């Protein structure tokens, strides 16, 4: 069983370690936080005395986790951004084993902690934070950066009440848009994700960020999430329908802007420009202006001088499984299948999924051995396996074409998906049955 704990704040260790360690002109101090692939430490410039936060990333860990491109994307995004409501990146240093991102040090707390300790904020205070959030996010959009993981944990509030947007690891840049002008990667955090992302048909990065800003505003003004449920399938149904409680104690203006933002139809949802024209939003509004462009952010050549796969190599690798997130896992679960919300076709005869505890390499080898025994031809491309058994006319009885893909959930659990492209249903069932037997997967025997 895989237990997913979403919408919850991860525990962060606040530790102290040997101060006095030097990194060039920086003296490293206490640990501010820890993540899966590194630490964030307090640092001080020994020449100026200026404080910084240095994110220390272990190169081997990001290779193991297959997130090298995610780190590159975060650096590329932050290099573009100079705004008072976005955490600044000053430079990127490197050693043979580590990458060091020198970031602005924010003396304050996460918005999550602020709401957790104080509960809902007064409407005026909440509006001020929301104005800063919209200023920062709309600026990012103007520079071609779409955050895609806006949530309370990724918003900092300094000691003076100034808001700072952070963690651009899931952000999208213009080169990630497909020919249709849309983004297609399913990502984000369960309680904050826009319904069009769940629908898996492509989405506008700006519109989906607006939705997440609306969720943040709702939590700030009410103290609880608009979309929440222990059952993830029920949670996603609420998101898809835009089904949330509208507290009557909020002012009419606050209720109206929340309603316009949390519109499940992205085509009619309010835009950033329209938010800035809203009467409730404009009350006491002092627009923040981005800073003058400074010299380019220095990035050490060694930062990515590691044996990671390039974008094109990742595409062509047949050995690396795709790591999936909770949204995709929910869609894969037979008892929580959300496909009915997105497509009318009954795919039960076309698609089968099952879990396995074998490694990705062993799985693919065993699958290839099994299908070869059935005299299928095998092609491997883009991390997928295509198996074919064809007569002269590929539509005739006995012909079959199937795509087989392995998705990584954790280091010890994988999902195998078989997707029939065309062909004989009886041959497809025989193939599925043989694979289940050969891989030792429990299943009903008919």
What average pLDDT score do residues 249-274 get? 96
Q: Give the residue from 282, 305, 334 where a domain finishes.
A: 282
Residues 209 and 168 grouped into a single domain: yes
Three-state DSSP class for residue 253: helix
- Give residue 134's pLDDT: 98
Residues 161 and 212 grouped into a single domain: yes
CATH code of the domain covering residue 244 = 1.10.510.10
Q: Give the residue from 77, 105, 133 where a domain finishes.
A: 105
95 closest CA partner among 387, 390, 306, 356: 306
Q: What is the mean pLDDT of the chain?
A: 81
Print the domain residue range for 253.
Answer: 108-282
Side-chain-facing half-sphere of 73: CA atoms under 13 Å: 21
- Give residue 36's pLDDT: 67
Beta bridge partners of 156: 110, 164
Three-state DSSP class for residue 202: coil
- Give residue 201's pLDDT: 82
- Give residue 33's pLDDT: 84
Does 36 reside within a domain?
yes
Share of the chain above pLDDT 70, in %: 79
The string of DSSP letters for 345-369 reads: S--TTTEEEEEE-S-HHHHHHHHHH
Does residue 192 register a pLDDT over 80? yes
Does 10 reside within a domain?
no
Distance of alpha carbon 148 from alpha carbon 164, whole angstroms: 16
Distance of alpha carbon 104 from alpha carbon 85, whole angstroms: 11
Does 201 reside within a domain?
yes
How many structural domains comprise the chain? 3
440: left (phi over 0), alpha (psi -120 to 50) or beta: left
- Give yes or no for a contact between 101 and 57, defined as CB atoms under 8 angstroms apart: yes
HEC per residue, 396-439: CCCCEEEEEEEEEEECCEEEEEEEEEEECHHHHHHHHHHHHHHC
- Give yes or no for a contact between 338 and 332, defined as CB atoms under 8 angstroms apart: no
Residues 138 and 233 grouped into a single domain: yes
Extract the tokens encoding 49. Answer: 């005395």
- Give residue 179's pLDDT: 85
Helix (H), strand (E) at residue 102: strand 98-104
Entry field: residues in the chain: 446
Residues 144 and 240 grouped into a single domain: yes
| Poorest-pLDDT segment among 124-133, 365-374, 423-432 | 423-432
What average pLDDT score do residues 205-228 get? 96
What average pLDDT score do residues 421-443 get? 83
Strands 155-158 and 163-165: antiparallel
With bands split at pLDDT 50, 70 and 90, how would you rate the model's confidence at 85? Answer: very high
Does 9 reside within a domain?
no
CATH code of the domain covering residue 359 = 3.30.310.80
Q: Which of the two residues, 226 and 38, has the higher pLDDT score?
A: 226
Residues 270 and 125 grouped into a single domain: yes
Residues 112 and 255 grouped into a single domain: yes
- Give residue 292's pLDDT: 58
- The C-alpha R_g of the chain, in whole angstroms, comes to 24
Extract the tokens encoding 375. Answer: 């005299």
Beta bridge partners of 91: 102, 298
Three-state DSSP class for residue 104: strand
- Give residue 12's pLDDT: 42
- Over the stretch 2-56, which tens digit does the pLDDT of each residue have? 222 334 444 443 333 445 688 989 999 999 888 767 889 999 999 999 999 999 9
What average pLDDT score do residues 352-377 get? 85
Does residue 111 register a pLDDT over 50? yes
Does residue 368 register a pLDDT over 70? yes
25 is in an annotated binding site: no
Residues 97 and 232 grouped into a single domain: no
- Give residue 64's pLDDT: 76
Question: CA torsion sign, 275 to 209 to 74 to 39?
Answer: positive
Q: Give the residue from 235, 258, 282 where a domain finishes.
A: 282
Residues 118 and 267 grouped into a single domain: yes
- Could you say which DSSP state residue 203 is in? B
Does residue 323 register a pLDDT over 90? no
Residues 229 and 146 grouped into a single domain: yes
Q: Which of the two residues, 359 and 340, has the higher pLDDT score?
A: 359
Residues 93 and 130 grouped into a single domain: no
- Give residue 68's pLDDT: 83
- Give residue 293's pLDDT: 59
CATH code of the domain covering residue 53 = 3.30.200.20
- Over the stretch 263-310, which tens digit does the pLDDT of each residue have? 999 999 999 999 999 999 999 999 887 765 555 777 777 776 654 433
| Poorest-pLDDT segment among 69-73, 85-89, 105-109, 414-418 | 414-418
- Give residue 5's pLDDT: 33
Phi (first) and psi of residue 344, to 5 degrees: -90, -25
Please list the active-site residues. 149
- Give residue 411's pLDDT: 53
Residues 360 and 319 grouped into a single domain: yes
Does 197 reside within a domain?
yes
- Over the stretch 328-354, which tens digit does the pLDDT of each residue have? 554 444 333 333 333 333 344 577 777
Q: Which of the two residues, 199 and 1, has the higher pLDDT score?
A: 199
Extract the tokens encoding 441. Answer: 């997967």
Residues 199 and 337 grouped into a single domain: no
Chain CA centroid to CA 432, Å: 32
| Poorest-pLDDT segment among 75-84, 194-203, 223-232, 435-444 | 435-444
Does 308 reside within a domain?
no
Does 305 reside within a domain?
no
Does 92 reside within a domain?
yes
């Amino acid at each position: 069983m895989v237990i997913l704990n979403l919408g919850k704040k991860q525990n962060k260790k606040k530790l102290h370690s040997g101060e006095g360690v030097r990194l060039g002109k920086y003296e490293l101090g206490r640990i501010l936080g820890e993540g899966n692939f590194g630490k964030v430490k307090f640092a001080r410039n020994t020449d100026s005395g200026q404080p910084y936060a240095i994110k220390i990333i272990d190169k081997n860990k990001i290779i193991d986790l297959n997130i090298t491109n995610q780190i590159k994307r975060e650096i590329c995004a932050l290099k573009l951004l100079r705004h008072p409501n976005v955490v600044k990146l000053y430079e990127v240093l490197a050693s043979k084993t580590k990458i060091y991102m020198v970031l602005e040090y924010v003396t304050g707390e996460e918005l999550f902690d602020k709401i957790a300790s104080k509960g809902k904020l007064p409407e005026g205070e909440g509006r001020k934070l929301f104005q800063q959030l919209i200023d920062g996010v709309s600026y990012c959009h103007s520079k071609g950066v779409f955050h895609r993981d806006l949530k309370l944990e990724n918003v900092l509030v300094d000691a003076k009440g100034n808001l700072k947007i952070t963690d651009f690891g899931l952000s999208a840049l213009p080169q990630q848009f497909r020919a249709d002008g849309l983004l297609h990667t399913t990502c984000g955090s369960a309680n904050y994700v826009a319904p069009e992302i769940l629908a898996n048909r492509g989405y506008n990065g700006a519109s989906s960020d607006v939705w997440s800003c609306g969720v943040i505003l709702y939590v700030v003004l009410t103290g609880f999430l608009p979309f929440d449920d222990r059952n993830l399938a029920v949670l996603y149904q609420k998101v898809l329908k835009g089904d949330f409680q509208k507290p009557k104690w909020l002012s009419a203006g606050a209720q109206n802007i929340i309603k316009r933002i949390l519109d499940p139809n992205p085509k009619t949802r309010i835009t950033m420009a329209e938010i800035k024209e809203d009467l409730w939003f404009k009350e006491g509004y002092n627009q923040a202006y981005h800073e003058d462009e400074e010299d380019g952010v220095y990035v050490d050549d060694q930062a990515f001088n590691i044996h990671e796969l390039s974008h094109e190599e990742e595409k062509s690798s047949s050995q690396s499984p795709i790591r999936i997130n909770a949204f995709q896992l929910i869609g894969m679960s037979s008892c929580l299948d959300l496909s009915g919300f997105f497509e009318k076709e009954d795919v039960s005869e076309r698609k089968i999924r099952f879990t396995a505890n074998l490694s990705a390499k062993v799985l693919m080898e065993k699958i290839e051995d099994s299908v070869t025994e059935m005299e299928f031809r095998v092609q491997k491309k883009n991390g997928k396996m295509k198996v074919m058994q064809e007569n002269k006319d590929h539509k005739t009885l006995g012909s079959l074409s199937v795509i087989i893909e392995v998705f990584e959930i954790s280091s010890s659990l994988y999902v195998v998906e078989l997707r029939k492209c065309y062909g004989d249903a009886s041959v497809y069932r025989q193939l599925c049955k043989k694979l289940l037997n050969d891989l030792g997967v429990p299943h009903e025997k008919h």
